[in-house]
Every structure is written in C-alpha cells, then in structure tokens.
Amino acid sequence: MNIRTCLLPVLLAALTPVLHSSESKRTADYLLTTPATFEGKEVTLDVAFVKPVHWKSPVPEIAFFHAMTIDRQAHKPGGEMMIVILSEDSVKFAKKYGTNFEGRNESNSLKGLFMTAPGSEKRGKVWMVDTTGKVADLVAQNKLVIEENPGGGGRSGPGARPPHGP
C-alpha cells in the first residue's frame, strides 16, 4: 500500500469536521440530518418565509406552518420545517416572517422546542418546532396525531412535500 492511498482517507477524515462546521446550524436541513440529537431541545431557525399548511389543524387552538429556512452563511436555502403556533397568532406570524421570498433580503430567527408528533401510519413521525409549549402534552394525551386530510386529494397533511419539492 503506498502512502498516497493511506493519506487520502486521513485527509478526508480531518477535513470533514471543518467542512461540516461551515454549514449553518440554524436550518431545517441541519436539524433533520440527525433529528434525535435535537429532540426535546430548544432550537433556533433562520426563517426566510413561511407558508400555512393546506389542511385543517386537528387541534383548533394551534396552527401549523411550513417555515422555509435559510443558511445565512452560504446564502442558500436551508430546507423546510413544520412550525406549531397558537392559532390566534397566525396573522401576526405570517406578517412577521412573510409568505414569499420575493422582496425579502433578511431572515428572522424563530425559537421553539424541536420535537416529534405521531403521524399517520404511512408518514410515521413528524418533526416540528413547537413555539406554543402545548404539543408535548397533546401527544402524551393522544390528542394530537398528524394525519393527512381524508379526501383532500393531492398534497395534503403534515409531512407532504410542498408544490416546489420533488
């Protein structure tokens, strides 16, 4: 075995943490790479804009949005995360974060508890950021299961890809 063959894996192993550390830790993509690491912990996301989900919340007091995150360091999209807010705050929330990226040069930070809720049998777990502090109790009491809308057709329900996704 020559030295070049041995040196390449060693260099790649040494550079991986450096390359990975340049990735923003405040994006959905980063959190969803190893979600169990962050479960139950407060996280901060850099949000570019939000979109309301296209299904009815199973709990009237809470509303769900998709937050499109942004990697501020690399100035590129950072993936999508489901966000839980109080229903009464929906209009204010949408206004604060905006509902499209056009004309927005900034991102706003959002903090909440990173957690999972049970989804439909097909979906399994649904990862989300809870800003209300209510989701854990709802899940524990079996009062929150994220399911697709029956008869909704097409893309619906938590975990469904938005129209721009693959």
Q: What is the pLDDT of residue 153?
A: 36
Q: Identity (one letter) of the amino acid at 125?
A: K
Coil, helix or strand for 21?
A: helix
Q: What is the pLDDT of residue 106?
A: 65
Q: Which of 7-16, 25-34, 149-158 has the highest mean pLDDT?
A: 25-34
Does the pLDDT value for residue 125 go beyond 70? Answer: yes
CATH number at residue 29: 2.40.50
Domain housing 77 = 17-140
Q: What is the pLDDT of residue 120?
A: 77
Beta strand pairing call for 125-130 and 76-86: parallel
**Domain total for the chain?**
1
For range 144-164, the mean pLDDT: 47
Has residue 4 been placed in a domain?
A: no
Residue from 73, 112, 77, 74 nearest 93 by CA: 112
Has residue 3 been placed in a domain?
A: no
Q: What is the pLDDT of residue 87?
A: 97
Is pLDDT larger for residue 29 or for residue 163?
Answer: 29
Does the pLDDT value for residue 111 go beyond 90? Answer: yes
Has residue 78 been placed in a domain?
A: yes
Q: What is the pLDDT of residue 121?
A: 75
For range 33-46, the mean pLDDT: 96
Instruction: Tell me the pLDDT tens digit for each residue of 70-98.
Output: 998 888 899 999 999 999 999 999 999 98
Does the pLDDT value for residue 39 go beyond 60? Answer: yes
Has residue 74 been placed in a domain?
A: yes
Calculate the dihedral angle through the C-alpha atoms of 12, 14, 18, 23, rounding to the nearest 10 degrees: 50
Has residue 25 been placed in a domain?
A: yes
Has residue 57 been placed in a domain?
A: yes
For range 138-155, the mean pLDDT: 68
